[in-house]
């Protein structure tokens, strides 16, 4: 499948700010099931650093605007050829030891409710293969947190989302990471894009899901929000320990002012 | 003098060689002269601005750390062995770091448990897969040593991040040379004042490949509120490099730049005295205002070198410490020259049991503690203290390690009544860049309280000038 991506992020500031520095994770890396045909990240007026690959295999780029500005606009456009790999990440060049993804952050720290969720989901399945256990956890998270936009916000932690009892893809992902850790499986947060189809299930074009390291298979993606593993409708941008660490755009505004954010994401399947 | 402790000046056979010239010096010193000199020393330290903080212990930043005028002396032969041991260790620690941020061969070989490394708080995923210039991660390795006999030294801990205290090594010498110039004519004391030049050469040697000229090296400090700020400005001054704070630097494109009156200047090497967590708010703690936003991207794309490398701390963790002799055998194929103190990991059930049964004999420390706080010195503690500590230990065993109480050597020290033996330790500073270098000396800390084994300046410790002398 050929997916075309158009992703525009615009920040407007109430008064001019002294400058902006961003770290982008906006360029997909090559792996089985994902081949970039065409890709462009544009930020008018900005100085763009060299695109380099970090140890996790993600393309990273530094973007700076060192002058008073009232807005910044980041436009991503491209074309990626995808195939379904049943969620298994293969052919991805990375250097980080999977066990390093056993650590949690403030956002993926478990609480009692999450521990109970894992206990319930895996009861009687202690000897089940890891892959089955991972599926059970993803299903349990989907059930525990019905998709409800607006129930949580950008800084909501896994524990807070559990208390809320609802959430969006970010919450599903962070709770699933916490669950996997309890089950002694390395897990990480993946940012990317999703091609919305018309099957009636909830979607977010700018999307996130978890990868769980399954012995013998390697990293396997689990999208609890859509109760599936990533397939040819997904584009993987990069990973991290949580939503902040894996964010496609991490930025800092010098001499902050009130900002408004406008995001447009269009993902379409090109008919072949 | 207590028989149980090795006295570095007087052993069973009498006066030891390295101290030969000092016996007459102190014996012929009138009490009034001594008091005068002590006051003079204090005046000099005040004038130089050296104050209390050492090793990040905190405390009143305006208090002087007590200086004892009686030098601590090593003979050239003793030092040669120490030097070999220290350099060996610094090499092994760096080999370990470049391995665990790459393929992790030592873990694959089953010599060190994976989770001890990869789940260590100091392990930085952001650095995994990145090889810094020359593969060096820890450019200044501070190794804390104690001595228990003529030939017996133990490493207490390694400091691979940004060990402090070297300004004391330099200032103690400076003060001694001003006050007792004749001592330095009578004794062939190896100089330490080449340290700043060696440090600068070390830092310049790890400039990134992208640097095509004389490297611009800066020292990044958290600012004058930091307890070691004096040392930061002192070292920058000695090396003739800029002392900068985060706000003096910025990232643009592929490089890190310093604001100067003549416009931005590209920075090639940053000797940072800021903890990893504060280095770059876009990579680590987002609320940090001390660091440089975007710095880690420039670092990882080879635009600037950060010394020590972020993540270097995984090598000096107290739980990793146990494995350093293993690292030496694994990476260097050598037998360790310096010994580790036998250590019980309370996270292990068998070790915990032993520790619980022998609390009164052991020193028990927090895995991540420093500054001599939160530890139990069993032989010095009363029953109630031991019981209270036992409860803490039982509640969180993996937070503790235990070691035998070592019979630390003593060195003559000026006290009210004249001189008396006081316990000492040693921190030499090994430099790792293109070469591995060590100036002959280090910082000697001394427990000024009679019988005390705690040399921390926050708990009654002082410092001494440390000599290495050429023997006849």
Per-residue pLDDT band for B2 (boundaries 50, 70, 90) equals very low
pLDDT digits (tens, 9 = 90+) for A151-161: 999 999 999 99
How many angstroms separate the CA atoms of B109 and B104, rounded?
9
Same structural domain, B331 and B195: yes
pLDDT digits (tens, 9 = 90+) for A50-96: 999 999 999 999 999 988 999 999 999 999 999 999 999 999 999 99
Range(s) of the domain holding residue A32: 2-81+249-270
Average the pLDDT over B9-22 and give the result.
92
Residue contact A49–B130, C-beta within 8 A? no
Same structural domain, B413 and B269: yes
Q: How far away is chain B from the Cα of A51, in angstroms, using its nearest Cα? A: 8
The residue among B371, B404, B437 that closes a domain is B404
Q: What is the mean pLDDT of chain A?
A: 94
Per-residue pLDDT band for B3 (boundaries 50, 70, 90) equals low
What percentage of chain B exceeds 70 in pLDDT?
A: 95
In this structure, are residues A42 and A78 in contact, taking their beta carbons and an 8 Å threshold? no
The residue among B367, B384, B404 that closes a domain is B404
What is the domain-level CATH number for residue B361? 3.30.1490.270
Q: How far away is chain A from the Cα of B252, in angstroms, using its nearest Cα? A: 6
Question: What pLDDT score does B55 carry?
Answer: 45
Checking ipTM against 0.90, whether it exceeds it is yes
Compare CB distances from B282 to A23, A49, A55 and report the shortest one's residue.
Answer: A23
Residue contact B118–A100, C-beta within 8 A? yes
B402 has a pLDDT exceeding 60: yes
CB atoms within 10 A of CB B301: 22
Same structural domain, A156 and A211: yes
How many angstroms separate the CA atoms of B41 and B70, rounded?
12
Compare CB distances from A252 to B123, B253, B281 and report the shortest one's residue.
Answer: B281
Domain total of chain B: 2
What percentage of chain B exceeds 90 in pLDDT?
A: 78
Which residues does A contribute to its contact with B (CB < 8 Å)?
A: 21-23, 47-50, 52, 54-56, 60-62, 64, 66, 94-97, 99-103, 241, 244, 250-252
What is the domain-level CATH number for residue A57? 2.60.40.2250
CB atoms within 10 A of CB A169: 24
Residue contact B282–A241, C-beta within 8 A? no
Question: What pLDDT score does B371 carry?
Answer: 58
pLDDT digits (tens, 9 = 90+) for A100-129: 999 999 999 999 999 999 999 999 998 999
B56 has a pLDDT exceeding 70: no
CB atoms within 10 A of CB A166: 16
Question: What pLDDT score does B139 carry?
Answer: 98
Q: What is the mean pLDDT of chain B?
A: 92
Range(s) of the domain holding residue B362: 342-404
Question: What pLDDT score does A198 carry?
Answer: 62
Q: How far away is chain B from the Cα of A67, in angstroms, using its nearest Cα? A: 12
In this predicted model, which residue has the larger pLDDT, B162 or B50?
Answer: B162
Count chain A–chain B contacts defined by CB atoms under 8 A: 91
Residue contact B253–A64, C-beta within 8 A? yes
Q: What residue in A sits closest to B107 (Cα-Cα)?
A: A97
B375 has a pLDDT exceeding 80: yes
Mutate to test the interface with A, among B301, B310, B311, B314 (most CBs of A within 10 A): B301
Compare CB distances from A66 to B104, B127, B252 and report the shortest one's residue.
Answer: B252
Give the CA distances from residue B18 to residues B362, B427, B472, in Å, rounded to whole numbers and listed in that order.
32, 19, 10
Question: What pLDDT score does B197 carry?
Answer: 97
Question: What pLDDT score does B1 carry?
Answer: 41
Q: How far away is chain B from the Cα of A144, in angstroms, using its nearest Cα? A: 29
Residue contact A55–B301, C-beta within 8 A? no
Average the pLDDT over B81-98 and give the result.
98
Residue contact A97–B104, C-beta within 8 A? yes
Residue contact A97–B114, C-beta within 8 A? yes
Phi and psi based region of residue B43 (left: phi greater than 0; alpha: psi -120 to 50; beta: remaining) = alpha
Same structural domain, B306 and B158: yes
Same structural domain, B192 and B307: yes
pLDDT digits (tens, 9 = 90+) for B118-153: 999 999 999 999 999 999 999 999 999 999 999 999
User: Is A91 inside any structural domain?
Assistant: no
Same structural domain, B131 and B209: yes
**Closest C-alpha among B246, B310, B273 to residue A254:** B246
pLDDT digits (tens, 9 = 90+) for B275-300: 999 999 999 988 888 999 999 999 99
Same structural domain, A258 and A234: no
Same structural domain, B207 and B225: yes
Residue contact B127–A55, C-beta within 8 A? yes
Q: How far away is chain B from the Cα of A81, in angstroms, using its nearest Cα? A: 28
Strand arrangement, sheet containing B242-244? B242-244, B217-220, B269-272, B305-307
Hunting for tokens 């993902």 — which residue is that?
A: A267
User: Is A88 inside any structural domain?
Assistant: no
Q: How far away is chain A from the Cα of B224, in angstroms, using its nearest Cα? A: 23
Average the pLDDT over B409-419 and give the result.
92
Average the pLDDT over B356-376 and give the result.
83
B54 has a pLDDT exceeding 60: no
Domain total of chain A: 2
């Amino acid at each position: 499948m050929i997916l075309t991506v158009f992703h525009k992020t615009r920040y407007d500031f109430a008064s001019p700010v002294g400058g902006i520095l961003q770290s982008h994770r906006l360029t997909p890396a090559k792996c089985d099931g994902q081949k970039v045909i065409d890709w462009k990240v544009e930020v008018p007026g900005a100085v763009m650093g060299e695109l380099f690959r970090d140890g996790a295999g993600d393309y990273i780029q530094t973007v700076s605007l060192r002058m008073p500005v009232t807005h910044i606009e980041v436009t991503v456009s491209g074309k990626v050829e995808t195939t379904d790999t049943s969620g298994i990440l293969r052919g991805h060049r990375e250097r980080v030891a999977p066990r390093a993804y056993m650590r949690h952050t403030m956002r993926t720290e478990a609480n009692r409710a999450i521990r109970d969720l894992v206990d319930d989901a895996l009861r009687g399945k202690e000897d089940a293969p890891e892959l089955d256990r991972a599926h059970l956890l993803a299903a349990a998270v989907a059930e525990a947190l019905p998709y409800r936009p607006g129930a949580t916000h950008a800084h909501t932690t896994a524990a807070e989302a559990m208390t809320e009892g609802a959430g969006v893809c970010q919450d599903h992902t962070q709770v699933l990471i916490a669950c996997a850790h309890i089950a002694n499986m390395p897990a990480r947060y993946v940012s990317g894009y999703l091609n919305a189809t018309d099957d009636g299930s909830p979607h977010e074009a700018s999307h996130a899901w978890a990868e769980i390291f399954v012995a013998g298979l390697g990293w396997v993606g689990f999208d609890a929000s859509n109760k599936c593993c990533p397939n040819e409708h997904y584009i993987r941008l990069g990973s991290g320990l949580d939503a902040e660490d894996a964010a496609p755009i991490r930025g800092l505004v010098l001499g902050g002012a009130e900002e408004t954010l406008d995001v447009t994401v269009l993902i379409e399947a090109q008919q072949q | 003098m207590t028989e149980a402790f090795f006295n570095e000046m007087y052993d069973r056979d009498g006066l030891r060689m390295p101290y030969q010239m000092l016996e007459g010096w102190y014996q012929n010193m009138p009490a009034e002269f001594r008091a005068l000199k002590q006051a003079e020393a204090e005046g000099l330290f005040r004038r130089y601005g050296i104050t209390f903080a050492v090793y990040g212990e905190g405390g009143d930043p305006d208090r002087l750390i007590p200086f004892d005028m009686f030098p601590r002396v090593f003979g050239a032969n003793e030092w040669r062995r120490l030097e070999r041991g220290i350099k060996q260790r610094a090499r092994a620690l760096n080999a370990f770091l470049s391995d665990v941020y790459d393929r992790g061969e030592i873990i694959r070989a089953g010599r060190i448990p994976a989770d001890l490394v990869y789940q260590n708080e100091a392990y930085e995923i952001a650095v995994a897969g990145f090889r810094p210039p020359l593969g060096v991660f820890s450019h200044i390795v501070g190794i804390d040593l104690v001595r228990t006999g003529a030939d017996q030294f133990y490493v207490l801990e390694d400091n691979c991040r940004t060990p402090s205290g070297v300004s004391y090594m330099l200032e103690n010498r400076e003060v001694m040379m001003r006050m007792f110039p004749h001592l330095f004519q009578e004794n062939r004391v190896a100089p330490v004042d080449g340290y700043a030049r060696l440090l600068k050469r070390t830092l310049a040697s790890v400039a990134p490949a992208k640097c095509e000229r004389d490297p611009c090296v800066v020292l990044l400090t958290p600012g004058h509120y930091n307890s070691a700020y004096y040392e930061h400005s002192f070292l920058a001054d000695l090396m003739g490099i800029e002392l900068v704070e985060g706000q003096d630097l910025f990232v643009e494109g592929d490089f890190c730049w310093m604001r100067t009156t003549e416009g931005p200047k590209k920075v090639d090497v940053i000797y940072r005295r800021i903890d990893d967590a504060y280095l770059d708010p876009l990579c680590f703690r987002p609320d940090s205002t001390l660091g440089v936003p975007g710095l880690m991207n420039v670092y990882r794309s080879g635009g600037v070198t950060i010394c020590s490398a972020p993540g270097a701390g995984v090598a000096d963790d107290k739980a990793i410490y146990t494995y350093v002799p293993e690292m030496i055998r694994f990476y260097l194929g050598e037998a360790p020259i310096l010994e580790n103190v036998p250590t019980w990991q309370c996270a292990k059930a068998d070790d915990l049991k032993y520790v619980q049964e022998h609390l009164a004999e052991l020193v028990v420390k927090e895995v991540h503690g420093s500054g001599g706080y939160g530890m139990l010195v069993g032989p010095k503690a009363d029953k109630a203290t031991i019981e209270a500590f036992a409860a803490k230990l039982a509640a969180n065993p993996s937070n503790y390690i235990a070691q035998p109480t070592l019979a630390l050597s003593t060195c003559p020290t000026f006290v009210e009544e004249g001189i008396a033996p006081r316990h000492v330790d040693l921190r030499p500073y090994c430099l790792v860049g293109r070469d591995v270098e060590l100036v002959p000396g280090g910082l000697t800390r001394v427990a000024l309280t009679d019988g005390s084994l705690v040399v921390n300046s926050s708990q009654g410790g002082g410092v001494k000038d440390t000599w290495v002398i050429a023997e006849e």
